[in-house]
Chains A and B, each alone.
Chain A
Amino acid sequence: MQHSGERVCLGDQEQLFLSLAEQLTRPLLQIAQLAELGAADDLETTRVHWTMAQLISRSSLQLVENYALSLRLQGKVMPLSLEPISLSSLLYDTAEVLQPLAQQYNVSLELDPGSRMQPVLADRTVLQAAMTSLGQVFILGQAEYDEPSVVRLCAHRSRYGVVAGLYGTALQLGRDDLRRAQGFRGRTREPLQRFVSGPAAGVFVADSLLSTLATRLHVARYHSLTGLATTLQPSRQLQLV
Chain B
Amino acid sequence: MQVLLIEPDRVQARLICEALHRQGHVVAHAVTAQSAIQMADAQTPNVVILELQLPRHNGVEFLYEFRSYPEWLKIPLIIHSFVPPQELAQATTAYQQLGVAKVLHKPETDLITLCGAVAGVVAPR
Residues of A with Cβ closer than 8 Å to B?
1-2, 22, 25-26, 29-30, 32-34, 36-37, 40-41, 58, 61-62, 65, 69, 72, 78-79, 81, 125
CB contacts (< 8 Å) of A25 on chain B: these are: 82, 106-107
What is the CA–CA distance of A125 and B106 in the complex, to the nearest angstrom?
Answer: 15
Contacts A/B (CB < 8 Å), 17 sampled: A1-B87, A22-B82, A25-B106, A29-B12, A33-B12, A33-B15, A33-B110, A36-B110, A37-B15, A40-B22, A41-B22, A58-B110, A65-B107, A72-B84, A78-B87, A81-B89, A125-B85
B45 at the interface (CB under 8 A from A): no
10 closest cross-chain pairs (CB), A and B: A33-B15, A65-B107, A36-B111, A30-B11, A78-B86, A1-B53, A1-B52, A1-B83, A61-B107, A25-B107
Which B residues contact A (CB, under 8 angstroms)?
Answer: 9, 11-12, 15-16, 18-19, 22, 52-53, 58-60, 82-87, 89-90, 106-108, 110-112
The smallest beta-carbon distance between A105 and chain B, in angstroms, is 20
Partner of A37, one of B52, B82, B111: B111
Alpha-carbon gap, A58 to B106, bound state (A)? 11
- In the assembled complex, which residues on chain A have CB atoms less than 8 Å from the CB atom of B89? 81
What residues of chain A lie closer than 8 Å to B9, measured between beta carbons? 26, 30
- Asked whether, in the complex, the Cβ of B111 is within 8 Å of the Cβ of A33, the reply is yes
Smallest beta-carbon distance B109→chain A, Å: 9
**When chains A and B are docked, how far (Å) is the Cα of A81 from the Cα of B85?**
11
